[in-house]
Amino acid sequence: PDADVSTWATPADMVKAAIYLADQDAVELFVNTCANELIQLEHWGCPWSRDPDGRISVRAFGGMSVKRTLFAADKTGFHMLHSLFQYSLRHASIRRFDEWFVSSLLIEDGKCVGVTSLDLHTGEVHSILAKSVLLCSGGCGRVFPFTTNGNIKTGDGMAMAYRAGAPLKDMEFVQYHPTGLPGTGILITEASRGEGGYLRNNEGDRFLENYIPGKMELGPRDILSRAIIKEMEAGRAYGEGHGGHVHLDLTHLGEKLIDEKLPFVRELVVKYVGIDPVVEPIPVRPVVHYMMGGVSTDLNGKTPIPGLFASGEVACVTINGSNRLGSNSLTECLVFGGFSGTAAAQHALEEGAGTSSAAETLAADEINRIQKNFLTKEGGTESISSLRTEMNLTMEEGCGVYRTKEGLEKTTQTLAELRERFQNVAIEDRSSVFNTELMSALELDFMLDVARCLAVSALAREESRGAQSRIDFPERDDENFLHHHLVYASEEGPRLEKQPVTITRWPPQERKY
């Protein structure tokens, strides 16, 4: 905790990549804590890759001045997930509610006292009382049509906190990963470039020398994504429209290295593209990957609502600012998952024994809402799929890699209209057991809220910074926009406020690579 991080490359890299919108106290805490968390994870069984001398292997990711990304081949997230889950099975006191869908937070006298949850096995809505509630529900990439995110990343936790009165922070910053497979959105890990892969246009050129010659393929994700879009617009890419792409070339790395360090990349490309990256380049294009924004929290994951905590992609501490460096998200889950879990447990202990007198009433209200708005409503004229498709398309058009005032205004207006039309959504499945159509409707309800917060925040930020690229405001503007956006729910829609950025050791300066 007392280490002098001012001499470390890692926090400076993070602050620079974030374009000085990261809270630097959070960055320093993150850097000083992460090593112990990674060691702890190894003790719990995570099989980190190792060098011949026994040291844990590290590789470079984009925007880093030193190699500092630990990995387990190219299945790091998979191994971390299994290590954590398997370790949790040792503790009989942990009770899981598998196949339960949380639909709302229980708020009593300004405090979070639990949740309501739909048991998909029976269709019943239950209230679950809690002295602390910790949101770990991930991001909201599914508000876009082309994303690496799984189908469950629908912004549920963000929307529930927003509706309960907690602000969402920095929602305008949506990270595009430069290397997704066209058509599927499947991620080709940044490790491919960390191990020496090249990006080439249809002329065979490593085109990044025209955009970021000092870093090339190891540049930050925001710059690389914009460079690929520029190559596509200039006609130096393959294919057209949504099928447009450049090539990620690994052929010079050799079969041995690919099988040792990038086996999952080879497996994915063979299965989903039908080519072998050992002998053919991989088609790639930018794809929505990560939300820098989320529920506003302090360093311990506390939200402004007592009893409510958040960590991971659903939260915004913020260490990522306007652009996240690769490998930070998994580590963030460990570091701030630990802090928020400890804080939530301490809060529960301090609350002591007690019950909620309003919980039954609040749960009854939620049951009535679901019945009235979905299961017993007659005469609905709008389909879930059509509303969701229209939301996806307007988000891509207005809130994509490049943005304009005109496009953002159109998107915010369209989202407001979709919110009104959602009141007439039709549910054909009225059954109780595993009603996935009902779940889809609840997810769309959440997505419409977070999508609108995102578009409104992007419209208000009249500058270009990191993942926010405004064609009409191409320059960064520290004088007017070196602040976080907080968006609150109101009867009129999203309401914006400003929050200062915490600056400790690294004053803002020009971003150069």
Catalytic positions, written as ranges? 177, 193
Q: Find, among 144, 232, 233, the residue nearest to 185 by Cα.
A: 144
**Is residue 328 within 8 Å of residue 347, measured between CB atoms?**
no
Rounded Cα gap, residues 343 and 301, in angstroms? 7
Quote the DSSP letter at residue 56. B
Which residues, including other chains, have CB under 8 Å from residue 467's CB and lie 6 or more apart?
172, 173, 174, 175, 176, 222, 292, 322, 323
Q: Find, among 178, 204, 206, 182, the residue nearest to 192 by Cα.
A: 178
Beta bridge partners of 1: none
CB atoms within 10 A of CB 5: 18
Give how far Cα 274 sits from Cα of 144, 246, 247, 280, 362, Å.
26, 17, 15, 10, 52
**Is residue 104 within 8 Å of residue 117, measured between CB atoms?**
no
3-class DSSP string for 98-145? CCEEEEEEEEECCEEEEEEEEECCCCCEEEEECCCEEECCCCCHHHCC
3-class DSSP string for 278-330? CCCCEEEEEEEEEECCEEECCCCCECCCCCEEECHHHEECCCCCCCCCCCHHH
Rounded Cα gap, residues 284 and 247, in angstroms? 6
CA-based R_g, the chain, Å = 23
Rounded Cα gap, residues 347 and 359, in angstroms? 19
Q: CB-hemisphere CA count at 13 Å for 129?
A: 12
388 Cα distance to chain centroid: 19
Q: What amino acid occupies position 408?
A: L
The H or E element spanning position 247 is strand 246-249
Rounded Cα gap, residues 46 and 71, in angstroms? 10
List the structure tokens of 419: 């919110």
Rounded Cα gap, residues 363 and 20, in angstroms? 43
Rounded Cα gap, residues 32 and 506, in angstroms? 16
